[in-house]
Amino acid sequence: MRGNVKQGIWRLVDPKITLASAASMFLGACAAAREGPIAWGWLVASVAGIFCLEAAKNASGEIVDFDSGDDQAVAPEDRSPFSGGKRVLVDGMLTKAETAMVAAFGYGLGIVAGLGIAVFREPRILWFGLAGVALAYFYNAPPLKLSHRGVGELAVSITYGPLICCGTYLVQRGEVTSDVLLVSIPLGLLIGAFLWINEFPDLRADESAGKRTLVVRLGRRTASRLFAVLVATAYAWLWLLPPRGLPLSVWFGIAGLPFAVAAGRRLLAHSDVTRQIVPAQGWTLLSIVLFALGVGIGLVTGARGG
């Protein structure tokens, strides 16, 4: 492959963004490890399937955003490492045909991994897989175009919170418990907040392309306040987990709170200046990772019954 094709595929994979799905799988695996030994082969299959679907989602979304003119409308001063699309088409790194091939290959591998798990390990994972593929593809693609209709944020929160976390647990334990669902919800809120803050630099481009995200619909001032509400709700939920029977050690997840607070303060103060928002985007992602690490380690190491 020519050099720019390899770089384009690497951009579509985007390891820093896959940290969100990795955090959810880690949390689901830690919840499963609390109840018994981990089936490492099936965990590897789960991880591989999710990462393939994520790369495929990035590729198919890239085509939709290019065709709508959204990616081309992002001004140079609004470009960010965390938003504005992968820009493999805008920068000429891949052709549309090549990008479509990456999407087809990724969806194909992800579906094969899911079917293998369903046939040989846990049949009910098929429903999680179908929901995941649908939400990934229709996040950008017609006819649903979830991100254009102001429900993309909800779709991402559900997918990267309960769907991936509980699906990972289901493959390991053959069931989904209330405990794993409870810990997955605040993580989903934080990952939804990460998407939320990533929409600020894209606001003008999204608006011009008719992509009506919630940030476009609400405006910067209201959306920046609601970002703070999302983060506060996630950490308040964490605080309430031990009274529901989870160990006090899940509070290790509070390690991510200082970075979430810093991101919220920066966004409230500079919601219209991308170069000021970029550090807050990074802090939000770091908050997600530390939250998942803290809660996961707390689940594994904590005494049963608190």
Looking at residue 6, its pLDDT comes to 87
Q: What is the pTM of this model?
A: 0.95
% pLDDT > 90, the chain? 88
Q: Is the Cβ–Cβ distance between 106 and 60 less than 8 Å?
A: no
The CATH number of the structural domain formed by 3-301 is: 1.10.600
What mean pLDDT is predicted for residues 175-193?
A: 97
Flag whether pLDDT at 19 surpasses 50: yes
pLDDT digits (tens, 9 = 90+) for 208-266: 999 999 999 999 999 999 999 999 999 999 999 999 999 999 999 999 999 999 999 99
Average pLDDT, the chain: 94
Looking at residue 15, its pLDDT comes to 84
pLDDT digits (tens, 9 = 90+) for 35-68: 999 999 999 999 999 999 999 999 999 999 999 9
Flag whether pLDDT at 1 surpasses 60: no
Flag whether pLDDT at 194 surpasses 80: yes
Flag whether pLDDT at 166 surpasses 50: yes
| Cis preceding linkage at 142, omega within 30 | no
Looking at residue 2, its pLDDT comes to 54
φ, ψ (nearest 5 deg) of residue 241: -70, -45
Flag whether pLDDT at 306 surpasses 50: no
pLDDT digits (tens, 9 = 90+) for 104-123: 999 999 999 999 999 999 99
Banded model confidence at residue 3, pLDDT cuts 50, 70, 90:
low
